Amino acid sequence: MTTDDDGRRTNRRATYLVTVPLPDAAALVAPWRRTNRLGAHVTLLRPFTTAPLDPVARQRFARRLRSEPRFRATLDALGWFDGRVVYARPDQGPRWVELARVASLALERGVLDETVTPHVTVAKGLDRQELEEAAARTSARLPWTVTARSAILYEQDPATGRWHPLVRAAFAGSPPTARHHRDGGAASTRR
């Protein structure tokens, strides 16, 4: 048995997910991901089920991830999962793995899942022709520069299946976020 936020004893289990939102990639994936409620993101820890995370665990997650620096990455190539999902692969592979390790340790998850491939989903759940079109059109727009600014811990509502943010941890620092896109879009710099 575990104790929930109200101090009541419960056998309830909860499902969580940790992502790094990449709003800079929204325009890249928007034609095929309109219904994605989480927006463009890299999944650091894929869904896992455990006893509900208490406030101490949530605070530890926020504190630890807030000490991580912001960084830029480039979505530089496309990949496929099982011929059913098209994704954009970010460079900075070791950086993503380190963030996943930090999140895992903060949540006391133990062993890191080494099978997670850092990626931004471009298209899924479409027929093969639509997936190939998404791959071709997206590939023509790469490389695409993004800035990792925060990590979000989500909890899934067991009744609806929807994900709700529990903790958003903004990364430290504020490097310039110049965005230069091959599609001719305006470049901008934000601090």
How much is the average pLDDT of 88-113?
Answer: 87
29 found inside a domain: yes
> Is residue 175 included in any domain, yes or no?
no
Return the closest-CA partner of residue 151 out of 5, 8, 20, 26.
20
Does residue 185 form part of some domain? no
| 178 within some domain | no
CATH at 124: 3.90.1140.10
Q: What separation in angstroms does the CA of 140 have from each of 75, 77, 78, 143?
A: 12, 10, 10, 8
pLDDT at 191 over 50: no
Residue 148 lies in a domain: yes
Residue 116 has a pLDDT of 74
Domain interval for residue 92? 13-170
pTM of the model: 0.81
Residue 190 within a domain: no
Q: Which range has highest mean pLDDT (91-95, 111-115, 157-161)?
A: 157-161
What's the number of domains the chain is made of? 1
Is the pLDDT assigned to residue 186 strictly greater than 50? no
Looking at residue 56, its pLDDT comes to 95
Per-residue model confidence (pLDDT) at position 189: 32
Whether 176 is covered by a domain: the verdict is no
Question: Within a domain: residue 184?
Answer: no
Q: For 108-148, what is each residue's pLDDT tens digit?
A: 887 666 667 889 999 998 999 999 999 999 999 999 999 99
